[in-house]
Chains A and B, each alone.
Chain A
Amino acid sequence: MRTGIAAILLAALLFAGFRPVGKLPAIGALLDPASGVWATARTANLPPIDRGSIPGLGKPVQVLFDDRGVPHIFAATEEDAYRALGYVTARDRLFQMELQTRAARGRLTEWVGPRALEADRRTRRLGLAWGAERKYAAYDRNSAGFRAIVAYSEGVNAWIDGMRPRDLPMEFRLLGVTPDKWEPMYSLYFFSKMALTLAFNDATYSRLAAQAKVGRAAADALFPVNSPIQEPIQPNGLGAPRYDVAAIPPPGAPDSAAVLAFVARRNALAAVGDSKPNANGDALGSNNWAVAPKRTAAGHALLAGDPHLDLTLPSIWYEMHIVVPGRLDVAGVGFPGVPGVIIGFNRDVAWTFTNTSSDVNDFYAETVDDTLHPSRYKVDGTWHDLEKRVEPYRNRAGGLIHTDTLYFTRRGPMTRELGKWVSMRWTAFEPSSEQDNFLKLGYASNVSQWLDAMNGFVAPTQNGLVADRSGNIAIRSTGRYPVRPGDGRGDVIRDGSVSASDWLGYLPPSRYPFAMNPAQGYLASANQQPVDPRVNASYMGSDWYSPWRAMRINTLLRGDSAVTPDAMRKFQTDPGSARADAFVPEFLAAAAREDSAGRADATLHESARLLAEWDRRYTKENRRAALFEKAMEELNNRTWDELLDGAGSDTSARPPRMPEAQVLLELMRDPTSKWWDDRRTPAVVETRDAILTASLRAALVASRKAYGDPSGDGWLWSNVRQANIYHLAHIPALSALHLPVQGGPSTLSPSGGLGTQGPSWRMVVELGPEVRAWATYPGGQSGNPASPRYKDRLGLWLNGQLAPVLFPKTPRDLDHKRVTSTLTLEPR
């Protein structure tokens, strides 16, 4: 009897030990304390002394890790440095590198099976892998960038090949998979992924969704080509925002022709996922600014970098310092999977980027020979063969679970929407060498050289800000801007059957938004429209991010003529809001007018009183920002009810995007616009004040319901809006959730929506006789959840603090007390 039980038990244990059961991975290898997940504890801390080897390494490389986990790589050549960087990045971030690459390639099913199929299909249909592979094929094999990605891959593979069982990251064990060999092309897949995040413009979608409901004239006004508030990146000399207020046409008849375009864009955007959340520009975006010596306390140029991206654990960034004596000495952050510093500084120059958010992708309605299985498409009366690509989707065991046939015209990938074929042309698919551009930045010794290094940069278009030790500051919105025929707009779907619809070329660099050493003594960008259309009317995009952050940082910089590095740091988490400054008075004035007219009730009185108590600062401890945000939400839904799905009856179903708040502010100038009328009350025609006060009343009711008594802690901003930094695989136990942060929609450190996006890297650099820098990011250098370096920087980040960045010229210059590990890499 007992033997029988033992046999059954042994069989069961062996089965569960060797094979996954349900969602559980194979528990034998997982629990094994010698080489399973427990053994990863032994790799959580870097060994004080370590050695490794890399094939192809020219000379030994010394890597010193400081107490912030930053590798200082001292190599004889650039290629050796990138080999070493690949090695140490893989050691710290292998799972992240592999996951990101798989996501960009649309090969997640090979890890998690059919549940990732739709995501993979969308990714491949967008042509991300196709575009990356075309770029790779066209990449100059002799370029520094190409040699760098090859060297980097050699370093990554040296780590993978030499991994001991305990080095396998926990996530691989939980998934029951092992890492692939790293190919040089994978670095380009990552660039494709970033292009999707940063250069996939959804303005067409927003506008067409509105056009389908309220007609073109109204849609054009709601999602305008030019921002109604102008405080551009390229200073226009006004020294203050300019309000270009125009009348917004009333809602018109629905435009059924726009529905196709709407669907095409919606499907394409589904692939973008979390990187384009259903949130307005108030809650998203990056900042950068630089101050000329004449406006700094120490007389040295200052630069602040503050790119906002998805907040993840581990972070999207990896901090590094690379030294090749006599040639290169650069520090900053780069992307795991890509060699080199993207944002950072060297001994002479510091730089950073914000996204330009320009319109660099267009759609074309194509004419094909067969609606279901096309093989050719027609342009100017001539048939052309479609490029076909059969895409197999496999599960973990290699079994085929689905196959797609993708079609490509000369413009790009083609998808079928409502029975019609639509192709997409996108600058991110064009041959380019961004890797070379980024690597060259590290060699610049002044602003002019840095700008030269960015020449030829294609995508994603970036507002590159740079400052040097000579006191120069400059900004240029660099990238490839398509020039379209006709009215030049890119937020329409064009006729693909004629070549006259195609791009005519690209904007010459001389027309890029640009400023250097402006009279105002500072430069700032926050994703706003880069150039005043009265200065440069070239179409670069539409439906720009709201200007509130730009207005706020310009206000702060105008108000401080002796800026210090610490002031720069404080600006990064400044709780002030130009949006609140614009709208709170509107609410209060409307309440006062309704009161004067005898239409105010107790709810309105209390709501207005509570709102008036607010200092319009999104500090963690304030109790009134929550009311304002509820009021803004109500105001949006009540004003733009014509755009809501379920016309006039259901305000919970929102279209992909509402007009930006600056358009709402524009509408305030027209108190009797038909947009104010709430269609849910057909017997009454509402005015602006009626909607503002109704929103205020509703906000109080909703806030009481959600947060309790207005004097209670439920109303504390820290309890209302929090940052949520998820692990890359969205595993809550490996995430940092419900983090109270200072800032709200439209502040310089914006938080909104799900709290999953925000400041991904904060940096301040002083370009004095010796360059000094301070920085941090939310997370830590290690991808090992058990490591003390997994999220050791979170505290600093949450409190708006920065850590001094160590920048030694030689290994001996690095304070040995701050060296936690020394790794020597030798040729294999």
Chain B
Amino acid sequence: MLTKAVRFLLLTEGFAVATFAVGWWGVAVLALFWALVTESIRRPVRFATICAAAGWGSLLLLDAVRGPIGELASRFGGVMGVPPVALIAITLIFPALLAWSAASIGLALRRMIPRSRGERADAAVEPVPSGSGGGVAIADV
């Protein structure tokens, strides 16, 4: 089994690659797909939300390594009438919201799809490890 950290890295990079490959809306597509298929992680919506923001954050980091992102943020923020930091925050919040909304819908769809073994979709969840406060992972918030 992949550790949670590895999953985090994979999904984060998945969002980055999806953005590279198809564009910004690739975030929504991947989040939806992720929520539909994942069974092995608790709170998949929250997980996708964080990974999407981290994915775009890693792309921003890549831009920063290869160019004057601070200067650009200052100029771009001036054009948009918002502080540079706020602009960066918006850039991270935007994919996060995309991922949250798409993953939430994906999760809801998964609940409605009967499992092949005849189980109810909303029962097909991984037990929450002891000490985590109980409940089931699918009850994402």
The residues of A with any CB-CB pair to B shorter than 8 Å are 2-3, 5-7, 9-10, 13-14, 17-18, 27-29, 31-45, 170, 174, 731-734, 785-788
> If the complex has contacts A3-B108, A10-B101, A31-B90, are A17 and B75 also in contact, measured as CB distance less than 8 A?
no
Contact in complex: A3, B105 (CB < 8 Å): yes
- In angstroms, Cα B69 to Cα A825, docked, is 28
- Chain A residues near B108 (CB, 8 Å)? 3, 6
Query: Among B24, B77, B100, which residue has its beta carbon within 8 angstroms of that of A29?
Result: B24
Q: Is B133 an interface residue (CB 8 A)?
A: no
Contact in complex: A39, B63 (CB < 8 Å): yes
- Chain B residues near A31 (CB, 8 Å)? 24, 90-91, 94
Instruction: Say how far B137's CB is from chain A's closest CB, in angstroms.
Output: 15
> If the complex has contacts A6-B105, A41-B68, are A33 and B25 also in contact, measured as CB distance less than 8 A?
no
Range, interface on chain B: 35 or more
Q: Is B64 an interface residue (CB 8 A)?
A: yes
Contact in complex: B75, A44 (CB < 8 Å): no
> If the complex has contacts A9-B97, A10-B101, are A38 and B16 also in contact, measured as CB distance less than 8 A?
no
- Taking CB as reference atom, which chain B residue is nearest A25? B80
Contact in complex: B76, A13 (CB < 8 Å): no
- Chain B residues near A36 (CB, 8 Å)? 24
Contact in complex: B67, A28 (CB < 8 Å): no
Instruction: Say how far B109's CB is from chain A's closest CB, in angstroms.
Output: 9
- In angstroms, Cα B66 to Cα A6, docked, is 35
Q: Is B34 an interface residue (CB 8 A)?
A: no
Contact in complex: A6, B100 (CB < 8 Å): yes
Q: Is B60 an interface residue (CB 8 A)?
A: yes
Q: Which of B62, B64, B76, B98 has the most CB of A within 10 A?
A: B76
- In angstroms, Cα B60 to Cα A788, docked, is 19
Contact in complex: B19, A45 (CB < 8 Å): no
Q: Is B121 an interface residue (CB 8 A)?
A: no
Contact in complex: A41, B67 (CB < 8 Å): yes
- In angstroms, Cα B98 to Cα A28, docked, is 10
Query: Among A9, A29, A733, which residue has its beta carbon within 8 angstroms of that of B79?
Result: A733
Instruction: Say how far A37's CB is from chain B's closest CB, in angstroms.
Output: 6
> What are 19 of the A-B contact pairs (CB < 8 Å)?
A3-B108, A7-B101, A9-B100, A13-B98, A17-B98, A18-B25, A28-B24, A28-B94, A33-B60, A33-B63, A35-B20, A38-B91, A39-B63, A41-B63, A42-B63, A43-B67, A731-B78, A786-B71, A786-B76
Query: Among A9, A18, A35, A731, which residue has its beta carbon within 8 angstroms of that of B101?
Result: A9
Q: Is B59 an interface residue (CB 8 A)?
A: yes
The 3 lowest CB-CB distance pairs between A and B, nearest first, are A733-B78, A41-B67, A6-B104
- In angstroms, Cα B23 to Cα A18, docked, is 11
- Taking CB as reference atom, which chain A residue is nearest B56? A33
Contact in complex: A34, B75 (CB < 8 Å): no
- Chain B residues near A42 (CB, 8 Å)? 63, 66-67
> If the complex has contacts A732-B78, A733-B78, are A34 and B97 also in contact, measured as CB distance less than 8 A?
no
Q: Is B138 an interface residue (CB 8 A)?
A: no
Q: Give a binary string over B102-129; 1 marks a CB under 8 Å from any A CB, 0 the rest.
A: 1011001000000000000000000000
Contact in complex: B67, A45 (CB < 8 Å): yes
SS class, residues of chain A in contact with chain B: helix
- Taking CB as reference atom, which chain B residue is nearest A11? B101
- In angstroms, Cα B104 to Cα A174, docked, is 31
Q: Which of B56, B71, B90, B101 has the most CB of A within 10 A?
A: B101
Instruction: Say how far A517's CB is from chain B's closest CB, in angstroms.
Output: 50
- In angstroms, Cα B102 to Cα A261, docked, is 66
Contact in complex: A38, B60 (CB < 8 Å): yes
Contact in complex: B72, A41 (CB < 8 Å): yes
Instruction: Say how far B120's CB is from chain A's closest CB, in angstroms.
Output: 17
- Taking CB as reference atom, which chain B residue is nearest A166? B63
> If the complex has contacts A32-B24, A33-B56, are A44 and B79 also in contact, measured as CB distance less than 8 A?
no
Q: Is B11 an interface residue (CB 8 A)?
A: no
- Chain B residues near A734 (CB, 8 Å)? 75, 78-79
- In angstroms, Cα B24 to Cα A43, docked, is 20
- In angstroms, Cα B72 to Cα A9, docked, is 29
Contact in complex: A3, B104 (CB < 8 Å): yes
- Chain B residues near A732 (CB, 8 Å)? 78
Contact in complex: B94, A786 (CB < 8 Å): no
Query: Among A6, A170, A787, which residue has its beta carbon within 8 angstroms of that of B76?
Result: A170
Contact in complex: A174, B79 (CB < 8 Å): yes
- Chain A residues near B79 (CB, 8 Å)? 170, 174, 731, 733-734
Contact in complex: B91, A33 (CB < 8 Å): yes
- In angstroms, Cα B27 to Cα A29, docked, is 12
- Chain A residues near B20 (CB, 8 Å)? 34-35
- Chain A residues near B71 (CB, 8 Å)? 41, 44, 786, 788
Contact in complex: A7, B60 (CB < 8 Å): no
> If the complex has contacts A9-B97, A44-B71, are A32 and B105 also in contact, measured as CB distance less than 8 A?
no
Contact in complex: A788, B24 (CB < 8 Å): no
Query: Among A6, A18, A34, A786, which residue has its beta carbon within 8 angstroms of that of B59?
Result: A34
Contact in complex: A10, B63 (CB < 8 Å): no
> If the complex has contacts A14-B25, A39-B63, A42-B63, are A6 and B72 also in contact, measured as CB distance less than 8 A?
no
- Chain B residues near A785 (CB, 8 Å)? 72, 75
Q: Is B28 an interface residue (CB 8 A)?
A: yes
- In angstroms, Cα B64 to Cα A41, docked, is 7
- Chain B residues near A2 (CB, 8 Å)? 104
- Chain B residues near A37 (CB, 8 Å)? 72, 76
Contact in complex: A44, B97 (CB < 8 Å): no
Contact in complex: A29, B23 (CB < 8 Å): yes
- Chain B residues near A17 (CB, 8 Å)? 24-25, 94, 98
- Chain A residues near B56 (CB, 8 Å)? 33
- Chain A residues near B90 (CB, 8 Å)? 31
- In angstroms, Cα B25 to Cα A44, docked, is 26
- Taking CB as reference atom, which chain B residue is nearest A787? B68
- In angstroms, Cα B75 to Cα A7, docked, is 34
Contact in complex: A14, B28 (CB < 8 Å): yes
Q: Which of A7, A44, A731, A786 has the most CB of B within 10 A?
A: A786
Instruction: Say how far A150's CB is from chain B's closest CB, in angstroms.
Output: 34
- Taking CB as reference atom, which chain A residue is nearest B108? A3
Instruction: Say how far B26's CB is from chain A's closest CB, in angstroms.
Output: 9
- Taking CB as reference atom, which chain A residue is nearest B19? A34
Instruction: Say how far A16's CB is from chain B's closest CB, in angstroms.
Output: 9
- In angstroms, Cα B63 to Cα A43, docked, is 10
- Chain A residues near B97 (CB, 8 Å)? 9, 13
Query: Among A10, A14, A29, A44, which residue has its beta carbon within 8 angstroms of that of B67?
Result: A44
Instruction: Say how far B95's CB is from chain A's closest CB, in angstroms.
Output: 8
- Chain A residues near B28 (CB, 8 Å)? 10, 13-14
- Chain A residues near B98 (CB, 8 Å)? 10, 13, 17
Q: Which of A6, A170, A731, A734 has the most CB of B within 10 A?
A: A6
Q: Which of A32, A34, A37 has the most CB of B within 10 A?
A: A34
Q: Give a binary string over B50-74; 1 marks a CB under 8 Å from any A CB, 0 the rest.
A: 0000001001101110111101100
- In angstroms, Cα B91 to Cα A94, docked, is 26
- In angstroms, Cα B108 to Cα A39, docked, is 35
- In angstroms, Cα B75 to Cα A170, docked, is 10
Instruction: Say how far A735's CB is from chain B's closest CB, in angstroms.
Output: 9
